[in-house]
């Protein structure tokens, strides 16, 4: 039962996205502009790029993620979909899991499309570290979407939701940002794994804690 609800929520989100392509295209376009703005704001030589690039990547990813997360529930406002979700007899945890999975997929897709652009524009050398980088992206994106989905649902029915989502979410995901930036920096520099292993552990702990906590708290958010 639970699994079916999750599948249906994911399927529904993917289908609407496939038909309109609103979220993905706006996320991608926004991220591209962020990359360009960054390259204009910092006159980067090769060495400065080494220092800054991890931060730039994650700022771009986090802001893009905000767009996707904000749309995740506000899209449900049309045609009173949100009320049907609230009133549905399905377990609220399943709806949460489905939404997290959908948001996670959108963000990961955008990241996988964007990352080669970073590699090209900033002359990064990533071939050897690609699997580790993917692991970092995977963990950090999951953390962002686990907390982000909860807050997307929380802000959808309040005034000034476009502003409140980043205001509430960004301070809470600071550990994810720090860990992701430090780990990415380590991986891009080709450092040995033990030097940044603790950041991966931190990401894992964050993911475990907030997936579980958000899963239970979601009941109180969507409760009509």
Partner 1 sequence: MWTREKKIGLAMSIILVVSALGYLIVGNFGENLVYFFTPSEVKAFPPDYYHKRVRVGGMVVKGSVKTYPNRLGMTFQLTDGHATIPVTFDGIPPDLFKEGQGAVVEGYWSEEQLFHSNLIMAKHSEDYMPIELKRAGATLPRKDFLKTLVPSEDSR
Partner 2 sequence: MISKVVRRLRRFQGWFGGLAAGCLVAGLYLGLLASPPDYYQGEVARIMYIHVPLAHTALLAYTVVFAGSLWYLWKRDPLIDNVCHAAAGLSALFTALALVTGMIWAKPTWNTWWTWDARLTSFALLFFILLGYLMLRTFIDHPEREARYAAVLAIVGFLDLPIIHFSVEWWRTLHQPQSISLRGVSISSGLLIPLVIMSIGMSLLFAYMLILRTQLLYLSRLLETKRGRLLSQFHFSKADP
Query: What is each CA distance from 96 to 8, 80, 113, 146, 193, in whole angstroms?
Result: 12, 18, 26, 9, 34
Of 12 and 166, the one with the shorter C-beta distance to partner 2 is 166
Residues 153-212 that bind partner 1 (CB under 8 A): 189, 191-192, 195, 198, 201-202, 205, 208-209, 212
Work out the angle between the directed axes of helices 46-74 and 174-189 (0-180°, nearest 10).
140
77: contact with partner 1 by CB under 8 A: no
Instruction: Give me the least distance between CB of 170 and partner 2, in Å please.
Output: 8
Cα–Cα distance for residue pair 97/108, rounded to 1 Å: 16
Nearest CB to partner 1, comparing residues 33 and 209:
209
- How many of the other CB atoms lie within 10 Å of CB of 91? 15
Rank residues 37 and 163 by Cβ distance to partner 2 and give the closer one: 163
Dihedral of alpha carbons 30, 31, 37, 40, sign = negative
DSSP 120-163: HHTT---GGGHHHHHHHHHHHHHHHHHHHHHHHHHHTTSTTHHH
Contact window for partner 2 (CB under 8 A) among 49-57, 72-80, 91-99, 176-184: 176-184
Report the site for partner 2 in 187-206 (rule: CB under 8 A): 198-199, 202, 205-206
Tokens 């950090």 sit at which residue? Answer: 140
150 binds, among partner 1, partner 2, none (CB under 5 to 8 A by kind): partner 2
Closest approach of partner 2 to the CB of residue 167, in Å: 5
| CB of 94 vs partner 1, minimal distance in Å | 13
**Residues near partner 2, by CB under 8 A:** 147, 150, 154, 157-160, 164, 167-168, 171-172, 174-175, 178-179, 182, 198-199, 202, 205-206, 209-210, 213-214, 217, 220-221, 223
């Amino acid at each position: 039962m639970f699994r079916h609800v999750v599948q249906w929520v994911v399927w529904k989100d993917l289908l609407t996205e496939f038909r309109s392509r609103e979220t993905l295209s706006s996320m991608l376009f926004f991220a591209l502009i962020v990359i360009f703005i960054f390259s204009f704001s910092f006159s980067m030589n090769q060495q400065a790029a080494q220092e800054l690039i991890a931060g730039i990547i994650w700022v771009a990813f986090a802001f893009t993620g905000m767009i996707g997360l904000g749309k995740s529930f506000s899209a449900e406002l049309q045609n009173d979909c949100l009320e049907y979700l609230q009133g549905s007899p399905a377990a609220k945890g399943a709806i949460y899991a489905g939404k997290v999975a959908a948001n996670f997929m959108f963000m990961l897709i955008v990241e996988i499309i964007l990352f080669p652009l970073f590699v090209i524009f900033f002359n990064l050398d990533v071939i050897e570290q690609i699997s580790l980088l993917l692991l970092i992206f995977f963990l950090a994106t999951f953390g962002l979407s686990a907390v982000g989905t909860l807050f997307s649902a929380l802000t959808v029915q309040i005034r000034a939701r476009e502003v409140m989502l980043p205001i509430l979410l960004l301070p809470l995901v600071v550990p994810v940002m720090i860990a992701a930036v430090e780990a990415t920096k380590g991986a891009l520099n080709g450092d040995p794994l033990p030097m940044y292993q603790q950041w991966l552990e931190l990401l894992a702990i964050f993911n475990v804690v907030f997936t579980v906590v958000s899963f239970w708290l979601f009941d109180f958010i969507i409760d009509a």
